[in-house]
């Protein structure tokens, strides 16, 4: 009868778990607006962002990102952390089950002239601590949520890696274009210097014009090594992101290619999509869930703990006697333990975990707001740089025309060399600004897709399926 009472008591209490249950926050609670504050690009639409870089239509960029997501040391580190989190969860889950151990032994003794006496033993011991108040289950909830947070962090690594590689690729193409512009201007300025030299030799102008022409050409020449230094740095950065040695991609990036253009249609959803799509937001939410469960585990430590133990053994003077059943030894014990005095440390531990939970909530809310800020900033940058590009294109065309006209008029003596220098410097500045703005437009799109959390998929083969036996309440 007493055994049945204990069984009912254990099964009844085992269904409860003390402490708070995690409750996901709604978009309204997180101050997420229904629509974006900034104006959306024309032809904006909803769509899949898992491989957003393919929209840029650059096969080499797509190949680089695909290689990086497979073989980058950054991803290898993220995968190792994911395996660690999975193993850690299994360790926690093992606490729900009994522990069984076995041992066997043999001994021999002899007294005086008597024959030696042998003794054989075999024992199996089992112990189990029923999770009456849910402390172990809360720990498993925390471990499960931590695993999910690690998965989200893995996806966040994918997002950051793809975006960083794309940004460096755009920088490479921008620098190549700016170097080409500088060399084009150098050819133009070299011709102008020759004209100034001829006019000086003919006595039509002083040496001032010739010296100014040489100075202008040398200043433009000095820009090329600085641009080439930046170009080498960006190429080396791409190589490292791919998990290869610096210089390994120089041959693939040697030929100049256009800056990847922004497609006519840009993918963007509503602000609430950021909560589901952006991995760092998901990671922060799972971290909050894990910490909520840890509060419950701390609360469970305030309650009594029931321990059950039992043993089954056989003892005999021969090996055959061990299987006869006559020497069977059985025992079963139960104990209930409660910490009576610990200086208030257990209750303070609950307060510690509660404070950490509050920090996790604040971090989660801050992460959401930062994500919204990133999207808004990227939208503004994309729109304003497009507007700026239109003006710079007009300025570039006018500057080229003015430079040509100024040199022609100088050649026939209608203007002094000061006008030629001014127009050539304006042309170089306008052309560089136009090309830089073109790169900034593509950069803004990359930053927008990163801010939206694009660049990962739940079907990623490297990440693998995440086993989740537990459930966050």
Residue 419, helix vs strand vs coil: helix
Amino acid 462: pLDDT: 42
Query: What distance separates the 2 farthest-apart alpha carbons in the chain?
Result: 137
Q: String of b and e for 336-352 (b: at least 16 CB within 10 Å)?
A: eeeeeeeeeeeeebbee
Residue 143 lies inside a defined structural domain of this protein: yes
Residue 225 lies inside a defined structural domain of this protein: yes
User: Can you say whether the dihedral through the CA atoms of 171, 174, 176, 182 is positive or negative?
Assistant: negative
What is the 3-state secondary structure of 181-199?
HHHHHHHHHHHHHHHHHHH
Amino acid 302: pLDDT: 81
pLDDT, tens digit only, all 473 positions of the chain: 444 443 344 444 445 778 888 898 888 888 899 999 988 888 888 888 999 999 999 999 999 999 999 989 999 888 898 998 889 888 887 777 777 666 766 666 666 666 666 666 666 666 667 767 778 888 888 989 999 999 999 999 999 999 999 999 999 999 999 999 988 888 877 877 877 788 778 777 777 777 887 888 888 889 899 999 999 999 999 999 999 999 999 999 999 999 999 998 899 888 998 888 999 999 999 999 999 999 988 888 888 776 766 666 665 555 555 555 555 556 666 565 556 555 567 788 888 889 999 999 999 999 999 999 999 999 999 999 999 999 999 999 999 999 889 888 877 878 877 788 788 888 888 989 999 999 999 999 999 999 999 999 876 534 444 444 333 33
**CA dist list (Å): 153 to 49, 165, 277, 347:** 17, 18, 12, 32
Residue 337 lies inside a defined structural domain of this protein: no
Residue 243 lies inside a defined structural domain of this protein: yes
Residue 360 lies inside a defined structural domain of this protein: yes
Amino acid 395: pLDDT: 93
CA atoms of 455 and 237, how far apart (whole Å): 20
Amino acid 313: pLDDT: 60
H or E element in which residue 119 lies: strand 117-128
Look up the pTM and report it.
0.83
* Angle, alpha carbons 244-249-252 (nearest 5°): 150
Give yes or no for a contact between 286 and 152, defined as CB atoms under 8 angstroms apart. Answer: yes
CA atoms of 213 and 203, how far apart (whole Å): 16
Range of the domain at 159: 20-96+133-304+345-451
H or E element in which residue 208 lies: helix 207-241
Residue 459 lies inside a defined structural domain of this protein: no
Residue 264, helix vs strand vs coil: coil
CATH number of 34's domain: 1.20.1600.10
Residue 112 lies inside a defined structural domain of this protein: no
Amino acid 2: pLDDT: 46
Residue 127 lies inside a defined structural domain of this protein: no
Give yes or no for a contact between 293 and 141, defined as CB atoms under 8 angstroms apart. Answer: yes
**Number of structural domains in the chain:** 1
CA atoms of 185 and 432, how far apart (whole Å): 11
Give yes or no for a contact between 196 and 209, defined as CB atoms under 8 angstroms apart. Answer: yes
**CA dist list (Å): 130 to 13, 96, 140, 308:** 9, 8, 14, 8
The phi and psi torsions of 170 (rounded to 5 degrees) equal: -60, -40
CA atoms of 130 and 304, how far apart (whole Å): 11
Tell me how crowded residue 60 is: count the other CB atoms within 10 A of its CB. 15
Give yes or no for a contact between 18 and 300, defined as CB atoms under 8 angstroms apart. Answer: yes
Q: 135-201 and 207-241 helices cross at what angle (nearest 10)?
A: 160
Region class of 134: left (phi > 0), else alpha (psi between -120 and 50), else beta: left
What is the CB-side half-sphere exposure of residue 407 using CA atoms within 13 A? Answer: 21
């Amino acid at each position: 009868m007493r055994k049945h009472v204990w069984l009912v008591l254990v099964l009844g209490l085992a269904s409860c778990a003390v402490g708070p249950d995690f409750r996901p926050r709604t978009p309204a609670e997180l101050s997420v607006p229904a629509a974006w504050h900034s104006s959306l690009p024309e032809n904006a639409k909803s769509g899949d962002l898992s491989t957003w870089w393919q929209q840029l239509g650059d096969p080499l960029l797509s190949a680089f990102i695909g290689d990086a997501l497979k073989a980058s040391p950054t991803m290898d580190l993220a995968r190792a952390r994911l395996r660690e989190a999975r193993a850690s969860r299994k360790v926690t889950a093992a606490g729900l089950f009994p522990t069984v151990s076995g041992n066997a032994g043999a001994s021999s003794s002899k007294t005086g002239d008597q024959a030696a006496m042998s003794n054989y033993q075999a024992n199996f011991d089992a112990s189990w601590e029923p999770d009456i108040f849910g402390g172990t289950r809360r720990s498993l909830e925390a471990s499960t949520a931590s695993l999910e947070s690690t998965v989200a962090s893995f996806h966040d690594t994918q997002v950051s890696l793809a975006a960083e590689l794309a940004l460096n690729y755009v920088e490479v193409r921008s620098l190549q274009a700016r170097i080409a512009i500088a060399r084009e201007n150098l050819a133009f300025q070299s011709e102008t210097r020759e004209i100034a030299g001829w006019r000086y030799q003919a006595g039509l102008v002083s040496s001032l014009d010739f010296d100014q022409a040489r100075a202008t050409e040398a200043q433009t020449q000095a820009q090329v090594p600085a641009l080439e230094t930046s170009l080498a740095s960006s190429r080396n950065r791409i190589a490292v992101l791919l998990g290869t040695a610096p210089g390994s991609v120089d041959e693939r990036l040697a030929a100049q290619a256009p800056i990847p253009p922004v497609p006519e249609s840009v993918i963007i959803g509503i602000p609430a999509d950021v909560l589901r799509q952006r991995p760092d937001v998901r990671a922060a939410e799972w971290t909050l869930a894990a910490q909520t469960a840890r509060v419950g585990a701390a609360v469970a430590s305030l309650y009594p703990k029931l321990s059950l133990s039992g043993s089954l053994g056989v003892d005999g003077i021969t090996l055959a006697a061990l299987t006869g059943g006559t020497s069977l030894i059985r025992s079963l014990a139960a104990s209930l333990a409660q910490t009576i005095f610990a200086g208030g440390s257990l209750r303070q531990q609950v307060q510690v975990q509660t404070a950490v939970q509050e920090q996790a909530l604040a971090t989660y809310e801050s992460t959401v707001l930062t994500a919204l800020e990133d999207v808004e900033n990227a939208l503004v940058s994309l729109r304003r740089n497009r507007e700026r590009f239109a003006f710079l294109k007009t300025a570039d065309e006018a500057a080229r025309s003015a430079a040509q006209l100024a040199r022609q008029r100088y050649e026939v003596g209608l203007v002094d060399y000061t006008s030629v220098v001014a127009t050539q410097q304006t042309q170089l500045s306008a052309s560089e600004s136009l090309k830089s703005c073109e790169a900034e437009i593509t950069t803004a799109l990359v930053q927008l897709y990163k801010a939206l959390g694009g660049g990962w998929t739940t079907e990623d083969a490297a990440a693998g399926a995440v086993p989740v036996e537990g459930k966050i309440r």
